Structures are given as structure tokens and as C-alpha cells.
Amino acid sequence: MTAANFCCRNLRHLANLIEERRGGAYGAVILGVLTFCLGLSLGSTVTIAQAPPNVLIVGWDGVQRGHLKEMISKGEVPNLMQLASEGNLVAIDILGNTETKPGWVTVLTGYFSEKHRVRGNYHWETIPVGLTILERLEGYYGDENIFTAMLHGKQGNMNGMEERWIPVDGWTKPNPPHTAKMREKDSIQYWYVPRQQYFYTKDNVDLFKSYLSKGSPLDNMNGKTGEYTLQVMDEYSGSEQFAIFVQFNSPDKVGHKRGENSQEYTDDIISLDYWLGRFVEKLKELGVYENTLIYVTSDHGFNEGKRTHNDAPFVFLATNDESVMRRGYLVDIAPTIYESLGINWEEFEPILDGRPLNEPYNPPTWD
Ligand SMILES: [Zn+2]
């Protein structure tokens, strides 16, 4: 007999008793059985409860909010708008350095540079162990229950390499290695590149890849990163919960080469929108879309009409997370994700610098 049948039969029996005797003492009995039935129905709700949500963070490197707004008004990013129609599209501002290295680390940790230690593309330390969303989810759900991946289109600024000492003599390329400084050791000149920010992170997630866009032409930089991400979803999303961060480096690269107001920059963002559509399609095909929270954001914008982004704090967050209700800062994205997963972020050490976007937050104007 199912719990529901059992309850129905008992309720019918009680109804008969009430009919026959209408005694006050039966009130307590009825209450008891109703409580029992409610307990059973709650119990069955727990049994059929959905698995914890998957998380997909899609990074569009260097997408300026003003440029995106123009594209939205022309209907050029339909997949982004479809996603936002299921959740929200909000303005995100950046407090701090508007560069790739600190930008993504702030998104991934919910901390300002003082805590995550990545201050700029040329000024960083390794992120302390365990501070990124993916590492925290590994700890919260248990390694055997969640698959985590960091997939980067970019190599420079997005890797976990050990420090390198490259003899200047053997270096034949016209430019020095990315972010390298000249150092002398035992009378030999080296290009020195310090240990990278994801040095510890890379070993604490299940899959860590950099330079997925390697060898791609400027007009199609997203294909390899997109295809690889689809492949990863295919392999893992059916079997266990997943959390994936994928970074597309192309708008940044195209913006540096052609400028923020170029058609190429627009075309590249159109291509990112296409890939977002492919991801949604894949998640639906795998039957996990309804249980996947998707967040699309950027690490910095671009200086208006320029090929630089040293003063570019205006970006965005598009999501199917319907609890997102307000605009905020880059540092607010991580606590938003924790809040949506029901994880008590207020207990984290060190305390997060951001506030979740799923709740109103009106800081005092003066005191
Ligand atoms: Zn850049």
C-alpha cells in the first residue's frame, strides 16, 4: 500500500467516526493522523527531490557593457537574451584593476585582490588553496559527487604553471615570454615568470585546461574552446553533478587588435552568443538543462572606442537563475552562486567580500 492510500483510508475511517459520534476527543486523533499523513507526504517529497543544481559559468573576456547594450537593441545576441528571460540580465561594475588576471579570480572567489592576491596581469601571487568556487564545491559536495572543470581559451593570464627561468640567449621570438621580467642568476640572463595564480587551483579541480584556442585564426577563435566544452559536457554531465567554468578569450584579443567599436569585436560577441546557444542545446539534449544554473559574465570591459581596457569597469551578468534581482559588483557573483545552491557562504574563511545578488542590499549612506 502506498503512503497516500494508507492516509486516504484512515481519513475515510475518521470521517465515519466523526459522523457517528461527533466527540471532542476525536479532534486530537484527527490531528494526529493528519500530522502523520503530512509527515509521509513531506517524506516522499524528500525522496523525489532533485539532485543539487549544476553550475556553468561562461566567461566572455573583455565584453564592454555599452557595446553589449547596442547589440541587444539590434537583436544580435538572441541566446543571451533568451537565457536572461528565464532569469535576469543585470549591470555589473568592477571595483579594482580592470584586467584579465584579477577579473576572473574575483569572479571565481568573491574576494577582492587583497584576499585572493591577484592584483594585476603583471602583479600577482598564487591564489591560496580552496578559495575558488570550484574548489569550495568539491569540498561541500565531496569529490566523488561532483565533477569540476576550468577550461580556458587563453594561456597567458589563465594558467597554473610553475615559475619559469628561460635563458634569454635561447629565446628566439621577437617578444619576451608573457609577463616575463629579466633576471640574472649565476651571471646568466633569464626571462623570469613567477608561478601562476592557478598553480594550486589546477590540482584541486577534476579538469584544468588552458590555451584551448591555440592556433585559431582571429576570425574564429571560439570554435575550439566551444567544441571542447561540449565534449566535456557529453562525457560528464549525465553521471554526476558538475560545475564548469569556461573562459572565451576572443573579445579581448579582437578588441586589442581592432578596437571596441570595430565590426570584428561585434562579430566575435555574436559568435560567443552562438556558442552559448550550443551549450544550452547540449544541456537540453542531455536532459540536465532544467537543473543547471548558467551565469554569463566578463572580467573587464573596454575603454570606449579604444584598443585598451585600463579604465573599463562596466560589464554585465546574464543568467537563468531567477533569484538574481539586482545589479552589483564583480565580487558579488560568487556569493550569488553559493546562495542559489543553498550553501552557507557567511561561514567561509576569510569572509567573502561580495553580497549575493539574490537579495536586496542597501548599504547605509553614511553610518
Ligand atoms: Zn586585454
Largest CA distance in the chain: 105
Are 146 and 138 within 8 A, CB to CB?
yes
CA of 251 to the centre of ligand 1 (A): 9
CA of 102 to the centre of ligand 1 (A): 12
CA of 310 to the centre of ligand 1 (A): 9
Per run of 10 residues, the mean pLDDT along the chain (length 367 residues) is: 38 42 44 44 50 96 98 98 98 97 98 96 96 98 96 93 94 91 95 95 97 90 96 86 97 97 98 98 96 98 98 98 98 98 97 97 85
CA of 113 to the centre of ligand 1 (A): 18
Q: Looking at residue 49, what is its pLDDT?
A: 58
C-alpha cell at 135: 574548489
CA of 303 to the centre of ligand 1 (A): 11
Number of H helices, E strands in the chain: 12, 13
Are 91 and 116 within 8 A, CB to CB?
no
Are 64 and 302 within 8 A, CB to CB?
yes
Q: State phi, psi for 34 to the nearest 5 degrees.
A: -60, -40
Question: What are the residues whose beta carbons fall under 8 Å from the beta carbon of 34, sequence distance 6 or more?
Answer: none
The secondary structure of residue 20, as a DSSP letter, is H
CA of 300 to the centre of ligand 1 (A): 8
Are 324 and 92 within 8 A, CB to CB?
no
CA of 60 to the centre of ligand 1 (A): 12
SS3 (DSSP) at 149? strand
CA of 101 to the centre of ligand 1 (A): 10
CA of 282 to the centre of ligand 1 (A): 30
SS3 (DSSP) at 188? strand
CA of 260 to the centre of ligand 1 (A): 11
C-alpha cell at 40: 509521509
Q: State the Rg of the chain over Cα.
A: 26
Residues 176/61/56/339 CA torsion (nearest 10 deg): 110
Q: Looking at residue 238, what is its pLDDT?
A: 67
CA of 304 to the centre of ligand 1 (A): 14
Q: At CB < 8 A and 24+ separation, what contacts does 24-32 make?
A: none
Are 270 and 77 within 8 A, CB to CB?
yes
Which residues sit opposite 243 in a β-bridge?
A: 55, 148
CA of 307 to the centre of ligand 1 (A): 9
CA of 104 to the centre of ligand 1 (A): 12
CA of 281 to the centre of ligand 1 (A): 30
> Are β-strands 207-209 and 88-93 bridged in parallel, bridged antiparallel, or unpaired?
unpaired
Q: Looking at residue 219, what is its pLDDT?
A: 84
The secondary structure of residue 110, as a DSSP letter, is S
CA of 97 to the centre of ligand 1 (A): 12
Q: Looking at residue 325, what is its pLDDT?
A: 98
CA of 314 to the centre of ligand 1 (A): 14
Q: Looking at residue 270, what is its pLDDT?
A: 98
CA of 365 to the centre of ligand 1 (A): 34
Q: Where are the alpha helices (DSSP H) in the chain?
A: 3-21, 25-47, 65-73, 78-86, 100-109, 113-116, 133-141, 201-204, 223-236, 250-258, 263-285, 333-341
CA of 191 to the centre of ligand 1 (A): 22
CA of 337 to the centre of ligand 1 (A): 26
- 3-state DSSP percent of the chain in helix, strand and coil, to 5: 45, 20, 40
- Is omega for the bond preceding 350 within 30 degrees of 0, making it cis? yes
Q: Looking at residue 236, what is its pLDDT?
A: 86
CA of 170 to the centre of ligand 1 (A): 28
Rounded to 10 deg, the angle between the 333-341 and 133-141 helix axes is: 20
The rounded distance, in Å, linking the Cα atoms of 123 and 197 is 10
Q: What is the pTM of this model?
A: 0.85
How far CA 285 is from CA of 32, 80, 106, 107, 281, in Å, comes to 46, 19, 32, 28, 6
CA of 198 to the centre of ligand 1 (A): 18
CA of 311 to the centre of ligand 1 (A): 11
CA of 100 to the centre of ligand 1 (A): 6
Are 357 and 324 within 8 A, CB to CB?
yes
CA of 94 to the centre of ligand 1 (A): 15
Are 330 and 95 within 8 A, CB to CB?
yes
C-alpha cell at 229: 566544452
